[in-house]
Amino acid sequence: MLKTFSLGGVHPHENKLSAHQPIIQAAVPGKAVILLGQHIGAPAQAIVAKGDLVKVGTRIADPNGFVSAPVHSSVSGKVTKVDSIVDASGYARPAVFIDVEGDEWEESIDRSDKLVRECNLTPEQIIKKISDAGIVGLGGACFPTHVKLTPPPSFKAECVIINAVECEPYLTADHQLMLEHAEEILVGVSILMKAVKVNKAFIGIENNKPDAIELMKKVAASYAGVEIVPLKVQYPQGGEKQLIDAVIGRQVASGALPISAGAVVQNVGTAFAVYQAVQKNKPLIERVITVTGKSVEKPSNFMARIGTPMKQLVDACGGLPEDTGKVIGGGPMMGKALTGIDIPTAKGSSGILIMKKEEARRAEAKRCIRCAKCVGVCPMGLEPYLLSALARNAEFERMETERIMDCIECGSCQFTCPAALPLLDFCRLGKARVGAMIRARQAKN
């Protein structure tokens, strides 16, 4: 029997329209806008100014604290300004604007395709290289990778778990990355194992990717301690706590970190980026992005430079369809609607989903019928109908008591609600307010 997590979950239509589309190297943009806050934690601090010349791989911003990450130029050219721009969240964020001139790379970056398997660095040296390269989690959360690799002294890692689930409908970037770069990913996994001083790693892949499972098993056979774990198709299996439950059968307690279960979880795209950073001296300057939708002329997977306008990728797929109702950054379950497609891509840009008007239109919300379906599918064991009601009534202290901070914002509750209630919207609102309350309380103390 295939493994999966033990509580809740749903199975939306997969709609993997871009599956098996080879990764296309996206054209270098004429202008790049590189955001300084592409990670959880403090935004990076710009170290370039108007008129400065940069190359591909030049560091343009330093981390601004331990939970932060440096930012590098993905293009070569001249800095025109350091200003703000609306990002995928809909808010204005600081960014470096660059007019592209040619494609000159930093000489320290190894651009060859030659596989480099051996890594003779110490764990500390590996973590420093990962930190200096600006590597963050590429599954969506964008948590700085070096922080995950340095858990508090009271915790000890027992294994690395690689998230190759890609359970969001439509997205195929991780699937195609495995098919085209399995060897590099496995080297990256072995480097992560060395960094956290463990001799066991698991790569969880949902069973709707049999070709990736077969290939990764074949390649992993020559890497000690790495096991491929086929998983039942069940959303949101890509959540850290759900993946730990599915792969090693351990539950992470409310409010606890995944490391408390002995696991360090990293996305498969992050493992590839770690290989490039440690073995090729290449900072995180590009990533695979899926552009898809039922009316998109040619759903595709692109290797795109960070800071490329999303419009450029959409145009490369045939342009914005006439029946477009909504454009989502990410997948349909956890992604967020974009204000436009001139937004620059970032480290966390896994996909651009173009939804037809009929798909994008929400059903009219009705009264809750107390069916408890939202409770049954919640993978965190919460009561979404209650949390939603508390948020509507601004009862944020009660929301904290009812564990709103455990919500992973997966949208399973809203997906399954027969009354079409905006449960996720209110849970997100309440979680943000409660999070702000907690931070204010901690600062005061």
pLDDT tens-digit profile of 409-427?
Answer: 999 999 999 999 999 999 9
321/330 Cα distance (integer angstroms): 18
pLDDT at 120: 96
pLDDT in tens, 329-372: 999 999 999 999 999 999 999 999 999 999 999 999 999 999 99
- Closest C-alpha to 349, from 284, 297, 412, 266: 284
For the stretch 289-344, pLDDT in tens is: 999 999 999 999 999 999 999 999 999 999 999 999 999 999 999 999 999 999 99
Q: In the predicted model, what is the mean pLDDT of the chain?
A: 96
> Which pLDDT score is estimated for 143?
93
Q: 429 pLDDT band (50/70/90 cuts)? A: very high
User: Is residue 6 predicted with pLDDT exceeding 90?
Assistant: yes
**What's the pLDDT score for residue 174?**
98
The predicted structure's pLDDT at residue 164 = 98
Q: Report the alpha-carbon angle 55-58-60, nearest 5.
A: 120
Interatomic CA distance for residues 399 and 390, integer angstroms: 6
Mean pLDDT, range 46-65, rounded to an integer: 97
The answer to whether residue 140 scores a pLDDT higher than 80 is no
- From its phi and psi, is residue 115 left (phi > 0), alpha (psi between -120 and 50) or beta? beta
Q: Can you tell me the distance from the alpha carbon of 326 to that of 355, in angstroms, rounded to the nearest whole number?
A: 5
241: nearest Cα among 53, 11, 9, 19: 9
Residue 1 vs residue 395, higher pLDDT: 395
> Which of 128, 84, 98, 110 shows the shortest CA–CA distance to 33?
98
Name the pLDDT band for 139 (thresholds 50, 70, 90).
confident
Mean pLDDT of 68-89: 95
Handedness of CA 319, 13, 164, 114 (dihedral sign): negative
HEC readout, 113-125: CCCCCCCCCCHHH
Q: Count each helix (H run) and each strand (E run) in the chain, helices first.
A: 13, 17
Tokens of 44: 């990076």
Report the pLDDT value the prediction gives residue 91, as an integer from 0 to 100.
87
pLDDT tens string 188-241: 999 999 999 999 999 999 999 999 999 999 999 999 999 999 999 999 999 999
pLDDT at 126: 98
- Please tell me whether the overall predicted TM-score, pTM, comes out greater than 0.85 for this model: yes
Over residues 83-108, mean pLDDT = 95
Check if the beta carbon of residue 437 is closer than 8 Å to that of residue 396.
Answer: yes
Minimal CA–CA distance to 287: which of 304, 270, 300? 304
pLDDT at residue 66, rounded to an integer: 85
* Residue 90 pLDDT grade (very low, low, confident, very high; cuts 50, 70, 90): confident
Q: What is the pLDDT of residue 41?
A: 86
What pLDDT is recorded for position 188?
98
Q: Which of 38-42, 73-77, 233-237, 305-309 has the lowest mean pLDDT?
A: 38-42
**What is the DSSP code (8-state) at residue 339?**
S
234 DSSP 8-state letter: -
* pLDDT value of position 42: 87
Q: What is the pLDDT of residues 57-68, one digit of tens each?
A: 999 999 998 889
- The pLDDT of residue 430 is 97
